[in-house]
Structure 1
Amino acid sequence: MAAKKLLLIDGNSVAFRAFFALYNQVERFTNGDGLHTSAIFAFKNMLDVVLKREQPDNVLVAFDAGKTTFRTKMFDDYKGSRAKTPVELLEQLPYLREMLTYLGIKSYELAEYEADDIIGTLALAGEKAGYDVVVVTGDRDLTQLSTDKVRVDVTVKGVNEIEQYTPAHVLEKLGVTPRQIIDLKALTGDTSDNYPGVTKVGKVTAEKLVKEYGSVEGIYEQIDSMKQSKMKENLLNDREQAFLSKQLATIKQDAPLEITLAETVLKEPDLIKLRQFYQQMNFQSFLAKLDQNNAINLDLGADEGAATVPVQPEIQYVTLTREMLKANIFGNQSEVTFYLELLGENYHLADLIGFGLLVADQIYVSDDVTLLQEPAVKSMLMDESIKKNVFDLKRTTVALNRLGITAAGLNYDMLLASYLINNENNSNDVSTVAAQYDYTSVLSDEAVFGKGVKTAVPTEVAELLQHIANKLMAISDLKPTLLKKLAEHEQDSLYDEIEIPLAKVLAQMEITGITVKAPTLTTMQNDLALRLQELEQKIYAEVGEEFNLNSPKQLGTILFDKLGLPPIKKTKTGYSTSVEVLEELKSQSPVVQEILDYRQINKIQSTYVTGLLKVIMGDGKVHTRYLQTLTATGRLSSVDPNLQNIPIRIDEGKQIRKAFVASKPGWQIFSSDYSQIELRVLAHVSGDQTMQQAFMDGIDIHANTAIRIFNLSSPHEVTSLMRRQAKAVNFGIVYGISDFGLAKNIGIARSQAKQFIEGYFATYPQVHEFMQQSVKSARENGFVETIMHRRRYLPDIHSKNFNLRSFAERTAMNSPIQGGAADIIKIAMINMNKALAENKLQTRMLLQVHDELIFEVPDEELETIKKLVPSVMDSAVKLDVPLKVEYGYGPTWYDVK
């Protein structure tokens, strides 16, 4: 999922720019009371542009509280040379903030601090909370705030032409990092803010000094080594001045704000008050848009809670009718763009509310989906020779199947193409994906349909049809751009030969579904309820009282106050009772293990048993959705329901698989999975000869590793514990595990874990070399690739934040391995689907669970499948080591192992 976005606007700075953008027309912009309104008008225009472009979740406009700040206390003449703000602008600021309130946008000022400090503090808080942060300002001082997660947009001309400052742009333009901008200003001073810097140190000299010494502190630490010069003399004389200037130039990121990020959430506008405000300001154009967009007459008492739908670009379209279809209006076109609109994410169930076709430069749209079943449309959608461009191939295929239409010829998928180009571009919203390529002529679904419980079809059909038309144009217009980028990235074959064919395979699997016996789950539900009741009573008896087992606060009181167990960790609300904490405490009291058992069984009951019962459809099956564009590694994810996370390490979890059966009598559930596929990919990509030889010889790789790291002489000396620890090392290395992490995982001392890892790399030196090379490649290119050129971008690989950088480095090591394994099973699924068709078999592929494929097989095909499936999966990709497939079968999924 894409990160939430926080938009921070420098109110005074942008209002100043807005005012002077219309300075020559200032007298024309007055209302009936003589109030000047030019800054409010231009600010609102800017706001419309920015909100549409950024689609933020949270917005705050920061204002200066007054001339007296902590900086003026440090330096009396701070900003002392600035001309007074025009009264024509000052009189508008209270009204500007009033308008923001009606728009649902929070504004804020803080005594003794500047707007910059509010923005700096919230930008850091937003970054820490995982937001993408965009700052809009007219002041280049704020560019010091730019990071990998914070972009600073500086208005260049007026308020709508901007220059975007990222760390890379700062470095390119100024030759320094964003934080070093502070050092530049400390040396040069600032005539605008009226502080001095160092005598006769200008921009060029300052840049040279900062590049050489890193910072003001670095300059003065090494000033004794500088050769004698007038510059050195000035530096020594103005030392105190330089450090003072640095303090003045530094934007605070720890200001004592009285607001939180939660208070900056963008709210629904107050339409009644907004309309009254526009009337007061005499903003006729804003009034017209407000009424047009909302299709309401507030004077007639319309609902105050009505949602705002922004203006949509008016791409021309024709409303399709049955009469038109009878006239063969489509002719013989060889390519069409198609979009099917649904109200909701789960396309197995969501309402189909409209569709559109772009044929030979003409757009046809309709809110009557039954027209899709008319011969002229249905035959076109089912014709393999007519190529279709869509946004999401799988979604489109499954949804059309609900109308009895077997789609064919779907060969361009905008979402898949964008995802491969950059796996952050994976939104299910056409608008969001299009915006990544600077295409803004389509609104977000949220803007048109609302959000959450407010989601609804627009009351005006024209709004829906216009939205569909705009999506069609986005899909069509951006196709050449996306295909060109795929080719530039050498990803066209990954797209054409893997992701597009896979989407078609997944669509068929989702349509087929898997049969789940509700009575089996109901019996389990009753059994687990009794088991939970027994555990409850046992726990209550041991602690001597009843309490709410699902309340962390009450549980903490029992464990740490009453039973006197040592508290491991505290949270803001009290003692932590996380699984991690309970695992550390279980050796100190038997009740802790019982609490862990209760939690585990309770989760199985609520999430999987009860959860599955809710999603069995009328055909007696569950139809999961596979998210093809969610993970950065390329692995598939299962949702609604998630069939990949059914717990199998404890018996209660395994039992759930007994409910999964073949759909017909005389059929079996057949499972096949790759053995140690990630380690085999690692052996291939690293070229490590020792590891490759072990796989070539069919040696147990975990036992082989155990022999090496424990310095044993033969496999017979490997105990089960040694093998388990070696297995943890093998798979831990794949995920870039540290000695601390390994020690925690297998319960050994950190020093011993360090020895294990060192022993591993001594055993497999080329693995170590490969991992170092992966990190180096990521630093040089900004991404790593799988064997199929699947890219993983790593913007934090150069981060100064140790944790962010370390995570990016670990990701650089493991992404080619995890992604490579994902590529292999995807190829196997495509090949398997072809093999079933070519052999005219009834066997159907039902599920993919990580490295495992699940089929249902008629008894008479069982012997064929036992040979066919392993041979197809084994030959999916040619590696330097053999792939190995294991299989099993039985009447239920539980019985296959």
Structure 2
Amino acid sequence: MKRILLIDGSSMIFRAFYAIRDLTTKDGIPTNGVYGFLSMYYKMIDEYDPDYILVAFDRSGPTFREKDYKDYKANRQQTPSELSAQFGILKDVLDSMGVSHIDIDEYEADDIIGTLSTEFNKLGIESVIVTGDRDYLQLVDGDTKVVLTKRGITQTEVYTPDIIKEEFGLEPKQLIDVKGFMGDQSDNIPGVPGVGEKTALKLIKEYGSMESVYENLDNISGKVLKKNLEDYHEIALMSKKLGEIYVNVPLDLEIDNYKFKDPDYPALKEKFERLEFRTFASRVPIDDDTEEFITEYVVLNDDSIKDLVEEVKKSKSFTFKLFYDEESYIKSNVSAIGIKAAGNPAIYVSRIANEDNDSAKGVQLNLTEEIVEEDDVSSINYTDLIDGRLSEIFTENSYTKLSFDIKSDIFFFLKHGISLENYRDVMISDYLVDPSQTSYSIEKQALKYLNKSIISYEELTGKGKNKKKLSELPDDKLFQFISEYVTITERVYPVLDEIIEEREMHELYYEIELPLIKVLADMERTGFKVDIDELRNMGKELEKKISALELKIYELAGMEFNIASPKQLGEVLFDKLGLPVIKKTKTGYSTDAEVLDKLYDKHEIIESILEYRSVSKLMSTYIDGLIPLIGSDGRIHSTFRQNITATGRISSTEPNLQNIPIKTEEGRKIRKAFVASKGYKLVDADYSQIELRVLAHLSGDKVMIDAFKNDEDIHTKTASEVFHVGMDEVTPLMRSRAKAVNFGIVYGISDYGLSRDLDIPRSESKEYIDKYLATYPDIKKYMADIIVSGKELGYVETILNRRRYIPELKSKNFNIRGFGERIALNTPIQGSAADIIKIAMVRVYDVLKKDGLKSRLILQVHDELIIEAAEDELDTIKQMVVKIMEDAHKLSVDLKTDINIGDSWYDSK
């Protein structure tokens, strides 16, 4: 028997949106609804293997039911914009998947599905209906089953006629009568007062139908029930009609039109990667008919090294890559190397001899033999480095050195006292050309730019328990991988470089992004000194506080339980203490932050639970989490990434030093453990409101420009203008509201988002935004103009031509366009601020090195630079850093820098 899968897209994406919290792309685009839908979709495809498929959606606007009852669904809240936009995204994905989807004026998704299920059952086609809406149970029959999602998105229960009979004691069609009596609060169907599910089921079990109940009204026991049934007879009949799924929607009933269409695999892969759905992207097959990519390689030995050096001297350019056994190059030794002279077909590869690799093939390159201690460059003997025979090509500044992700290579050379110069990085090139990619790899570049298919690092080494180190691989596989890697790097470079030139990003690439690589590598090598005793003492204090909070919570609860267990906590709050249930999950009661916030005034225990969670997180993340990461040198060495965010911001990982708490005093204390070395101080230089200054510059808004030129507090100024009061009459609450709107505008915040941030009604947040735009008319004009420009050109740019393509702006779907507009507004502002701080970083680093100063740049946190400054250089550093940061780029308003000095990060911030 053939089968059609009928999915209520509106129901599923709604449930997913609220079941999966805070899932967004790196650009802040919410994807939780789409992700949850697709998770269920693939589960259903795998389980039911349908021959046909349709996804039905509700259409915005009135339905035919409102003609009978104007208040139908009248109490439903407006769909949040963060969810509305995902409908368009999902439909766009379904189009690429070859999956039919329908929405029709005046009809709801259940009417569409009910019609198709009824008609196709007549053709002997089984229907499987997937939904979160129990109303569909009325459609169940021998050829139709309903898969109902319960407590989330992927946990399901299948309903057949027998199961409905067992659970309700009724036939599926009789559930329409039950709903007619009891009504439905979510759809604003009134029903009969005083009749709940239990009473409605009893009536229908006894009399069979609503009509039969009224025929036997005299036999109904209970005066109140009988009177309500009599008084609300017409309402009951109308409620039944409203709750009945209409199965005669005018639809295309040609079954072949609901077959799976041929998917657009390249487009689907690109969309999944843009949405950062890596698991779904892995399901998309790629039709690769490219020719086999053939390279040749030579193992390094005495003779081949001489030949290689001579070839490099002739071409003055070479491509290379150092390979590590571990994913983190900061903690791993080099295990292999590949080098290719420009224009030469041979690749010179070798394993590297080290303590863990006694069976290295080829020449024994002692790359890890001599590690240079910090600031001890004078002890380097370059002839001992890289076995003495390759050193001259790496130390010769006139030779161009090309690599993929060269920061890991530069990091290694810096550890050995070599400052690599005149280098290029095709990963960073690719990032500038297409900053929206979720990841960057040499195999993706090969396919994208050269139409070549090569083995990936993951395919080479395996995954999970079967994962192998490079040093464990057989020679032929390793050497082939290395030769392909280096050859692709060389071939991709001119392709990307041409695009960079065409887009006028030469300055951005060669003068900012490339020099920044070395800055970041040196910051990784230097690290940030941590006082482990301070961390341990903080840990002891936090442990005491956690213990005290536990006792207080136990006392308020009247029992001991595992506070960290959502299940046990839910039982205490809702079963024992009787607090109102806000929402449930597949495992029971929800006790997430949103729920606890709504319960804050309901019981004293909530405040203690929230504080317990906050302190516990500090303990686990910043005490227990940081201590193991402190190296033997007493410093934490984070990894900095410049190709993660599409706006150009730098990221920090392992650990994320940009995420050390600052909003609460208890969290800020963690910064006390980050200290300067003996004889040094920490200099914290922070741009003052750089993104708002960039906005003033880009928009040319005279009101905002004047405020900055007059050194007025921009948030107080905004509050004064928005609330029509004098600057001296602005209250702290007014300023706080204005600040939220100021920064919200920068990030393209919606009235829904602002209402959540400020915990105010959407109408009030919309009023704030409208007043803001009226206060700054040129900002309003700029926002409109940048969207028009972005739509015409297909992209927006920063002040230094960092480009970001936004295909969403040309989408026919209103909600997708809305997200594109937010990106168009945010990218030039945040991206320009990122460009400026990068310029400052490069110039500060260059001066420190050029002048031979002992001070060193150790951290960047968005708009903030931290320098570990030698005490005898302190005055020089302060003046130099302020001047460089404020002169980094000329805007129509001055850049301002706040500078603080201290022995710890806490003291200097």
Per the normalisation by structure 1, the TM-score is 0.67
Q: 1:711 to 1:329 in 2, by over 3 A?
A: closer
Q: Partner residue of 2:573?
A: 559
Match status 1:244 vs 2:256: no
Of 708, 711, 719, the residue aligned with 1:706 is 719
SS at match of 1:758: helix
Q: 1:339 aligns with which of 312, 321, 328?
A: 321
In structure 2, the residue matched to 1:459 is 473
Structure-2 separation of matches of 1:459 and 1:840? 44
Compared with structure 1, are the counterparts of its residues 812 and 567 closer, same or farther at alpha carbon in structure 2 (3 Å cutoff)? farther
Task: Output the CA distance in 2 between the equivalents of 1:484 and 1:660.
Answer: 44
Q: Specify whether residues 118 and 803 from structure 1 end up closer, same or farther in structure 2 by C-alpha distance, changes over 3 A only.
A: closer
Give the counterpart letter for 1:884 in structure 2. K
Q: Judging changes above 3 Å, is the alpha-carbon distance between structure 1 residues 866 and 786 closer, same or farther for their aligned structure 2 residues?
A: same
Output one character per residue of 1:62-113: Cα deviation in whole Å (capped at 9) or x when no partner: xxx76x8799xxxxxxxxxxxxxxxxxxxxxxxxxxxxxxxxx999788794
- Alpha-carbon spacing, 1:805–1:831, altered in 2? closer, same or farther (3 Å): same
Mapped pair 1:575 → 2:511? no
User: Which residue does the alignment assign to 2:821?
Assistant: 809
Shift of 1:324: 3.5
Residues 638 and 652 in structure 2, CA contact (< 8 A), matched pair in contact too? yes
Aligned to 2:383: none
Change (3 A) 1:584 1:69: closer
In the alignment, which of 328, 331, 334 is matched to residue 352 of structure 1? 334
Correspondence for 1:717 among 710, 729, 741? 729
d(CA) in 2 for partners of 1:814, 1:375:
51
Tell me which residue corresponds to 2:838: 826
Distance 1:797 1:454, change over 3 A: farther
Distance in 1 of aligned mates of 2:722 and 2:658? 33
Which of the residues 469, 475, 479 maps onto 2:483?
A: 469
Output one character per residue of 1:688-729: Cα deviation in whole Å (capped at 9) or x when no partner: 1111111011111001001111111x2111111111111111
Indicate the residue corresponding to 1:697 in structure 2. 710
Contact 2:100–2:260 under 8 Å retained in 1:
no
Deviates more, 1:548-557 or 1:243-252: 243-252
CA apart distance, 1:149:
7.6
Alignment of 1:514-593 (within 5 A): 514-593=528-607
Query: Hey, what's the Cα distance between the residues in 1 that align with 2:862 and 2:819?
Result: 23
2:347: which partner in 1?
A: 363
Secondary structure, in 3 states, of the residue corresponding to 2:401? strand
Q: Secondary structure at the match of 1:830?
A: helix
Match of 2:296 in 1: 316
1:436 aligns with 2:448: yes
How many Å separate the matches in 1 of 2:655 and 2:764? 41
Letter in 2 for 1:147: D
Q: How has the CA–CA distance of structure 1 residues 615 and 824 changed in structure 2, closer, same or farther, with 3 Å as cutoff?
A: same
Quote the offset at 1:377 in angstroms.
Answer: 1.1
CA distance in 1, matches of 2:878, 2:605: 47
Q: Is the alpha carbon distance of 1:262 and 1:741 closer, same or farther for their aligned partners in structure 2, counting shifts above 3 Å?
A: closer
Structure 1 residue 537 displacement after superposition? 1.0
1:600 maps onto 2:602 in alignment? no
Question: 2:432 corresponds to which residue?
Answer: 420
1:325 and 2:333 equivalent? no
Q: What are the residue-to-residue correspondences of 1:153-552 with 2, within 5 Å?
A: 243-244=251-252, 248-251=256-259, 313-325=293-305, 329-331=309-311, 332-333=313-314, 334-360=316-342, 361=344, 362-368=346-352, 371=365, 372=367, 373-402=386-415, 404=416, 406-425=418-437, 427-456=439-468, 457=470, 458-552=472-566
User: In the TM superposition, what is the alpha-carbon distance from 1:327 to its structure 2 partner?
Assistant: 6.5
Q: Distance in 2 between matches of 1:565 and 1:802?
A: 41
Give yes or no for contact 2:411–2:521 (8 Å, CA) kept in 1: yes
Deviation at 1:409, TM superposition (A): 2.8
Q: Is the 8 A contact 1:671 1:853 kept in 2?
A: yes
1:201 equivalent in structure 2: none
Find the aligned partners of 1:842 and 1:264 in 2 and give their Cα distance: 50
Letter in 2 for 1:349: K
Measure how far apart 1:870 and its partner are: 0.9
Q: Distance in 1 between matches of 2:833 and 2:792?
A: 24
2:413/2:420 contact within 8 Å kept? no
Task: Describe how 1:830-841 pairs up with structure 2 within 5 A.
Answer: 830-841=842-853
Letter in 1 for 2:252: L
Counterpart for residue 184 of structure 1: none
Structure 2 spans left out of the alignment, 5+ residues: 7-41, 58-81, 102-247, 262-276, 284-289, 354-363, 368-385
Shift in CA distance, 426/365, structure 1 to aligned 2, threshold 3 Å: farther
Q: How does 1:66-215 map to 2 (within 5 A)?
A: 113-114=50-51, 117=53, 147=92, 151=96
Aligned to 2:149: none
- Summarize the Cα distance change of 1:381–1:564 in structure 2 as closer, same or farther, 3 Å threshold: same
Quote the Cα distance in structure 2 between the aligned partners of 1:874 and 1:264: 46
1:436 counterpart SS class: helix
Q: 1:876 aligns with which of 888, 896, 901?
A: 888
- Give the match for residue 783 of structure 1: 795
How much does 1:517 deviate?
1.4
Deviations 1:250-294 (A, max 9, x none): 4479xxxxxxx9999979xxxxxxxxxxxxxxxxxxxxxxxxxxx
Q: Within 2, Cα distance between the matches of 1:706 and 1:482? A: 47
Report how many residues are paired.
647
Secondary structure of residue in 1 paired with 2:296: coil
- Do the aligned partners of residues 108 and 808 (structure 1) sit closer, same or farther apart at CA in structure 2, a change above 3 Å counting? closer
C-alpha distance in 1 between matches for 2:281 and 2:682: 49
**CA 1:146–1:691 in 2, change beyond 3 Å: closer, same or farther?**
closer
CA distance in 2, matches of 1:485, 1:356: 27
Instruction: Name the CA distance, whole Å, in 2 between partners of 1:592 and 1:445.
Output: 48
* Structure 1 segment 690-769 matched on structure 2, within 5 A: 690-712=703-725, 714-769=726-781
Q: CA deviation at 1:329?
A: 4.7
Identify the residue that residue 680 of structure 1 maps to in structure 2. 693
Deviation at 1:591, TM superposition (A): 1.4
The whole-number CA distance in structure 2 between the counterparts of 1:393 and 1:410 is 12
Q: Using a 3 Å threshold, how does the CA distance of structure 1 residues 443 and 846 change in structure 2: closer, same or farther?
A: same
C-alpha contact 2:787 2:821 (8 A) present in aligned 1? yes
1:199-229 CA deviation, whole Å, 9 max, x = no partner?
xxxxxxxxxxxxxxxxxxxxxxxxxxxxxxx
Q: In structure 1, what is the equivalent of residue 28 of structure 2?
A: none
Contact 1:658/1:893, CA 8 A, preserved across alignment: yes
Asked whether the equivalents of residues 797 and 828 of structure 2 are also in contact (C-alpha less than 8 Å), the reply is yes
Unaligned runs of 5+ in 1: 1-64, 72-104, 122-127, 133-143, 154-164, 168-239, 254-260, 268-309
Distance, in Å, in 2 between the alignment partners of 1:852 and 1:262 is 33
Asked whether the equivalents of residues 363 and 469 of structure 1 are also in contact (C-alpha less than 8 Å), the reply is: yes
CA–CA separation in structure 2 for the residues paired with 1:166 and 1:672: 55
Preserved contact between residue 798 and residue 805 of structure 1 (Cα < 8 Å): yes
Tell me which residue corresponds to 1:633.
Answer: 647
Q: Structure 1 312/346 Cα, relative in aligned 2: closer, same or farther at 3 Å?
A: farther
Q: CA deviation at 1:244?
A: 3.3
Q: Is the 8 A contact 1:797 1:808 kept in 2?
A: yes
Name the CA distance, whole Å, in 2 between partners of 1:386 and 1:656: 45
CA-CA distance at 1:661 after TM superposition: 1.4
Aligned pair in 2 of structure 1 residues 320, 118: CA closer, same or farther (>3 Å)? farther
CA–CA distance in structure 2, aligned partners of residues 145 and 537 of structure 1 = 48
Q: Deviations over 1:820-873 (max 9, x none)?
A: 111110011011112223443221111001111011111111122221111110
What SS does the aligned partner of 1:500 have? Answer: helix
Whether the 8 Å contact between 1:148 and 1:166 is mirrored in structure 2 is no
More moved, 337-346 vs 792-801: 792-801
1:873/1:852 CA distance change after superposition, 3 Å: same
Pick closer, same or farther for the CA change 1:568–1:870 going to 2, 3 Å.
same
The structural deviation recorded for 1:759 is 1.1
Q: Distance in 1 between matches of 2:645 and 2:844?
A: 23
For the 8 Å contact 1:120–1:145, the answer to whether it is kept is no
Change (3 A) 1:618 1:470: same
